[in-house]
Amino acid sequence: MPRSINNPGGLQEQPKKEHTMKIADQIPKIIIAVLLLGGGAVVVSKVTGTSSGGGIVEVTVPELSQIAALGKEPFDTNCVQCHGPNGSGTDKGPPLVHKIYNPGHHDDGSFMRATKNGVQGHHWKYGNMPPQPQVNAVQIASIIKYIRELQMGNGIFYEQHRM
Ligand code: HEC
Q: Could you please report the per-residue DSSP string of 33-58?
A: HHHHHHHHHHHHHHH-EE--SSSSS-
Position 13 scores a pLDDT of: 53
- Does the pTM of the predicted model rise above 0.85? no
Task: Name all residues whose Cβ lies below 6 A of ligand 1.
Answer: 78-79, 81-83, 92-94, 106, 110-111, 114-115, 119, 121-124, 126-127, 129-130, 132, 135, 143
**Residue whose CA is closest, atom 13 of ligand 1?**
129
CA 33 to centroid of ligand 1, rounded, Å: 40
Position 47 scores a pLDDT of: 41
Closest atom, ligand 1, to C-alpha of 127: 12
Q: Return the exposure string of 108-119: e unless at least 16 CB atoms fall within 10 Å of the residue's CB, then b.
A: eeebbebbeeeb
Position 38 scores a pLDDT of: 44
Question: How far lies 99's CA from each of 16, 56, 65, 154, 159, in Å?
Answer: 66, 14, 21, 10, 9
CA 143 to centroid of ligand 1, rounded, Å: 12
CA 30 to centroid of ligand 1, rounded, Å: 45
Candidates 70, 72, 83: which one to mutate for ligand 1, based on the most atoms within 8 Å of Cβ? 83
Ranges in the chain, pLDDT < 70: 1-54, 163
**Is the CB of residue 128 less than 8 Å from the CB of residue 121?**
yes
CA 124 to centroid of ligand 1, rounded, Å: 11
SS (HEC) of 108-158: HHHHHHHHHHCECCCCCCCCCECCCCCCCHHHHHHHHHHHHHHHHHCCCCC
pLDDT, tens only, 8-43: 555 555 555 555 556 556 655 644 444 444 444 444
Residues ≥6 apart with Cβ < 8 Å to 75 = 83, 87, 143, 146, 147
Q: What distance in Å separates the CA atoms of residue 67 and residue 45, rounded to the nearest whole number?
A: 16
Of 90, 48, 91, nearest to 72 by C-alpha is: 48
